Chains A and B, each alone.
Chain A
Amino acid sequence: MDERTIVEEARRGRRDAFEELVKMYSRKVFHLAYGFVRDRAAADDLSQEVFIKIFRSLEKFRSDSEFGTWLYRVAVNHIKDHLRKTARRKEVSLEDLGEGPIAVADPAEEREAERETEAKRRLLFRILESLPPKYRLILTMRDVDGLSYEDVAKILDIAPGTVDSRLHRARKMLRKRMAAALAQEGG
C-alpha cells in the first residue's frame, strides 16, 4: 500500500492504517522534538502529543498536499507552542552553558581530540538551545535534521528569501555566542 492509500484509510478511521503512519514517521518526529528539548522523555511526550493531534485533525488534511510536509508542519507548530510555554520558565544563559548533561557513549575509550570535539558539540547544542525559538527552529530543521531548503520554506510557510535571511541571522548569532562561550572557557 502506498502512503496516499494509507492516509486515506486512516482518514476513514482505520486504526491499523494510522498505526502504519505512526511507524513511518515516529522516528522523524521524535528526532525533531529531541532537537529542541534535548531530553528523551520530553521528546517522547511531545511526539505522542503530535500524533494525537494528527489523528484528531486527519479530516483537515487535504489529500492533494504531501502528508509528510503537513505532519511536519503540525509537529513544528506544536513544538513552537511548547517552546513558547516553556520559554519563560527556562532561560539558558551563557553562564549555564559550560555544564552539559548530554550523555556520551564512553569517554574513557575516546581519544583526547575526539573528547574535545564532543565537548564542543555539546556546548554548541546548549548554545543552540539558548537561541530565540524561530532561529532554533530553522537551524534544527536545516542543519541538524538536514531538511531541504525547499521543505523548510514549505513547512514554515515562509518565502525562500525569508529562509535565507533567517538562516543567516541564526548562524551569525550561533557563531557569535559560540565564540563568546569558547573565549569564556579559555579565559
Chain B
Amino acid sequence: MRCRTAERWLSRALDRPLDDSIRKALESHLAGCAGCRAAASELRALRTRLSQGVRPEPVPGFWGRIERRLAEAPSLEPQAVWLRWGLRAIPASLAMIAGFLGAMILFLPASVETSPAQALLFGEQNPLAETRTIIDDDKPGNRDIAVLFAGDERLNGLGRTPRP
C-alpha cells in the first residue's frame, strides 16, 4: 500500500469501519511507515478538536424575533405570487402545445383531396410544357383532338398525363 492510498483509508476510517482486508493492509503499512502513523494521529487530533469546538448558546428570544419578521411580511407579495404561478404555467402551456401538435399529426388524414390546380402546384407539374407539345404537333387534326381531350378530366384523370 502506498502512502497516498493509506492516507485516504485513514480519513475514511474516521467515518465508517473499513473492510477487514483493507484494515489489515493499512495496519501493516502503518507498522512500517512513521509518516503515515504521524498523519493518523494528526487526523484523529484534528477531529477531536473540531468536535470539541466552542458551541455558544443561541441568543434568547429566538421565536419572538421570528414571529416579528413573519408579522412584518405575513405572505408573499401579490406580484411574487403571480410570478410564481406564471412560472408554473410555462411548462404546462408547453405540454399542452406539444399535445395539440401531436394530436394534429396523429388524427389528420394522411392524404388530402386536392383540386387540379393544387395537384399541379404541389406536383410541380408545368401545364405550359404539355400545351407546348400540343402546339408543336405537325398535324392540325391531331392538335384539335388533343385540345379537345386535354380539358376532359373524366377521361384522363387530371388531364395532365404526359404524352408519349
Q: A residues engaging B (CB < 8 A)?
A: 15, 19, 22-23, 26-27, 30-31, 34-35, 40-41, 43-44, 47-48, 51-52, 55-56, 102-103, 117, 120-121, 124-125, 128, 139, 142-144, 146, 149, 163-164, 167-168, 171-172, 174-175, 178-179
Contacts and interface: CB of A to CB of B under 8 A. Distances in A.
Contact of B49 (A44, A121, A163, A167): A121
B92 interface: no
A151 B54 CA distance: 23
A124 B43 CA distance: 12
Contacts, number: 91
Contacts of B39: 175
A125 B53 contact: yes
24 contacts: A15-B70, A22-B63, A26-B58, A26-B63, A30-B62, A34-B55, A34-B56, A40-B56, A41-B59, A44-B58, A44-B62, A48-B62, A48-B65, A51-B66, A55-B66, A102-B54, A103-B54, A121-B52, A124-B50, A128-B50, A144-B50, A149-B15, A163-B15, A178-B46
A179 B43 CA distance: 12
Contacts of B15: 142, 149, 163-164, 167
Interface residues on B, range: 20 to 34
A15 B57 CA distance: 24
Interface in B8-33: 8, 11-12, 14-16
B76 interface: yes
Contacts of B63: 19, 22-23, 26
Nearest to B54: A102
A110 to B, nearest CB: 13
Nearest to A171: B11
Contacts of B7: 168, 172
A121 B12 contact: no
A138 B111 CA distance: 64
Given A149-B15, A163-B15, A171-B11, 14 more contacts: A22-B62, A22-B63, A31-B55, A34-B55, A34-B56, A56-B76, A139-B50, A143-B46, A149-B16, A168-B11, A172-B11, A175-B39, A175-B42, A179-B42
A52 B43 contact: no
A179 to B, nearest CB: 8
Contacts of B14: 143, 167, 171
A164 B51 CA distance: 19
B62 A55 contact: no
Contacts of B52: 121
Contacts of A43: 58
Contacts of A47: 58, 62
